Amino acid sequence: MIRIIKILLIVSVASWALLGAVENVVDWGGTTGAVAATVSMSTFEGGAESWKATSSVAVVTTGALLILLGKLIAGLFCLAGAWRMWSARASDAVAFQNAKVLALAGCGTAVLLLFAGWIVIAETWFELWRSEMMRDLALQSAFRYGAMIGVIALIVGARDD
At 2-58, the pLDDT tens digits run 999 999 999 999 999 999 999 999 999 999 999 999 999 999 888 899 999 999 999
pLDDT at 147 over 80: yes
pLDDT for residue 53? 93
Q: In 10 A of CB 140, how many CB atoms? A: 12
Amino acid residing at 144: R
> Rounded to a whole number, what is the distance in angstroms from the first to the last CA of the chain?
13
Considering only residues 84 and 134, tell me which one the structure prediction assigns the higher pLDDT: 84
Amino acid residing at 60: V
User: How much of the chain is in helix, strand and coil states, percent to nearest 5?
Assistant: 85, 0, 15
Identify whether the C-beta of residue 7 lies closer than 8 Å to the C-beta of residue 155: no
Average pLDDT rounded to a whole number, residues 133-145:
86
Task: State how far the Cα of 60 lies from the Cα of 145, in Å rounded to an integer.
Answer: 22
0.85 exceeded by pTM: yes
